[in-house]
Amino acid sequence: MTVGFETPEWAVYSFGKAVTNNHAVLIDGWFDQLIHVSDPIDGPYWLPVYRFAAAYNARYWAVGIMESTLTGA
């Protein structure tokens, strides 16, 4: 994600192009049109799905862990 789910800001470095306002959060739940975010900067909060989707769709970067991976099923 980006800090505050804002539009990504890009810069060019010696290794290539990268986002300068990058930020990692954990999505740990959802209810209807809300997702629950555990944010290391702002703590836990609920966020409308449309706001999360706008930030996610700008880059499409995510890591997912499925339950079957954790249980070995």
At residue 72, the pLDDT reads 55
Amino acid at 10: W
Q: Cβ of 37: how many Cβ atoms within 10 Å?
A: 19
> What's the chain's average pLDDT?
83
Q: What is the pLDDT of residues 37-68, one digit of tens each?
A: 999 989 999 999 988 887 777 777 776 766 65
User: Quick check: helix, strand or coil at residue 53?
Assistant: helix
Q: What value does the mean pLDDT take over residues 17-42?
A: 89
Q: How many CA atoms lie within 13 A of 37 on its CB side?
A: 21
